């Protein structure tokens, strides 16, 4: 049998510039794929226009280039994939896996339910938020390369989750599963903040008969005052002028023990070192402080 072609990816949302936490995900997924002789793809998750920031896509591309993180092939933009997502939704509808829910958020909050008040499940509505039935999901088990076997009772934790919102926007859960599968992604390496989405994604893959990628969820990056580095917390944008130092610190956070002498080396040299010396098993599960 020919050796499997490893394909990794980095999938930022253009809600702001890359910060140190995003660099961990970009670097970790890049080096992990390259270490296995694999491809590394870039996908821009621009399916939520109200949350997007003008200029963010260009900023992200420039920042990746400044850090020597060159991707293979064209950049995939989720905003161009609507037709494909609709085809998949049609298929799920035909399988009886979806229903349109017309409950409002405030109704759900008042009733203390996580998904739907109930009647929508059998009402046959043609408009509303399209939810994936989870009653038959049981406990979803999946493997994380750092954490081992994990499981989640999605019915209890998130219920029938939304794949297409009432306002017509596609949900992250749908787009990520369809795009990872269509791109042949074998290895999903991303931040631990996304860990609680994985079981839902596995359930959707199961309903679509798609193979599961391998998963590795990287530690979160915290700021010096212990706050998670995220766009919501206004994490500072990566400074391309400090690319070498940023990369060295990111490798140190991932406990790859980069030699001190590498700290000032150009990005290409640091990445070459990292690809050769990559030890995914050394990555900590606990958050790291920059």
Question: Residue numbers of the site for ligand GLU (CB under 6 A)?
Answer: 11-13, 45, 176, 190, 194
Taking the complex as a whole, the smallest distance from the CB of residue 190 to ligand GLU amounts, in Å, to: 4
Whole-angstrom distance, CA of residue 248 vs CA of residue 156: 41
Nearer to ligand GLU, 198 or 249 (CB): 198
Task: Indicate the residue among 11 and 163 with the shorter CB distance to ligand GLU.
Answer: 11
CA nearest 198: which of 150, 137, 145, 254?
150
Min CB(212)–ligand GLU separation in Å: 13
Of the pair 103, 171, the CB lying nearest ligand GLU is at: 171
Least distance (Å) from ligand GLU to the CB of residue 11?
4
d(CA 31, CA 140): 29
Which residues on neighbouring strands pair with residue 189, listed in sequence order?
Answer: 216
Please give the full DSSP string across 135-155, using - where no structure is assigned: TT--EEEEEETTTEEEEEEHH
Identity of the residue, 11 or 204, whose beta carbon is nearer to ligand GLU in the bound complex: 11
Give the residue with the Cβ less far from ligand GLU, 89 or 176: 176
Picking from 273, 223, 263, 227, the residue whose alpha carbon sits closest to that of residue 243 is: 263
DSSP state of 217: E
Give the shortest CB-191-to-ligand GLU separation in angstroms: 7
The minimum distance between CB 117 and ligand GLU, in angstroms, equals 30
Output the smallest distance, CB 111 to ligand GLU, in A: 30
Order of strands across the sheet that contains 129-132: 98-101, 129-132, 162-164
Distance between CA atoms of residues 159 and 202, nearest Å: 14
Q: How far is CA 76 from the centre of its chain?
A: 14
Cβ proximity to ligand GLU, 47 vs 100, nearer residue: 47
């Amino acid at each position: 049998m020919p050796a499997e072609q490893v394909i990794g990816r980095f999938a930022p949302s253009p809600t702001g510039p890359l910060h140190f936490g995003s660099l961990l995900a970009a670097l970790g997924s890049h080096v992990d794929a390259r270490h296995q002789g694999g491809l590394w793809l870039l996908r821009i998750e621009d399916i939520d226009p109200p949350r997007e920031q003008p200029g963010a896509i260009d900023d992200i591309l420039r920042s990746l280039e400044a850090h020597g993180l060159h991707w293979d092939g064209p950049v995939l933009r989720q905003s161009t994939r609507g037709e494909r997502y609709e085809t998949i939704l049609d298929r799920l509808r035909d399988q009886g896996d979806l229903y349109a829910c017309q409950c409002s958020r405030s109704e759900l909050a008042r009733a203390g339910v996580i998904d739907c008040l109930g009647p929508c499940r059998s009402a046959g509505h043609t408009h509303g938020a399209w939810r994936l039935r989870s009653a038959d999901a049981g406990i979803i088990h999946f493997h994380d390369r750092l954490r081992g076997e994990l499981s989640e009772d999605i019915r209890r934790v998130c219920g029938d989750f939304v794949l297409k919102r009432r306002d017509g926007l596609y949900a992250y859960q749908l787009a990520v599963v369809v795009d990872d599968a269509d791109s042949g992604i074998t290895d999903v390496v991303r931040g631990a903040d996304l860990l609680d989405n994985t079981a839902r994604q596995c359930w959707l893959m199961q309903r679509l008969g798609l193979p599961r990628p391998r998963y590795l969820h990287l530690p979160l990056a915290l700021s010096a005052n212990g706050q998670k580095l995220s766009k919501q917390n206004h994490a500072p944008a990566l400074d391309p002028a400090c690319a070498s130092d940023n990369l060295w610190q990111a490798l140190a956070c991932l406990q790859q023990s980069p030699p001190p002498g590498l700290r000032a080396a150009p990005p290409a040299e640091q990445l070459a070192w990292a690809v050769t010396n990559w030890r995914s098993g050394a990555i900590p599960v606990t958050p790291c402080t920059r």
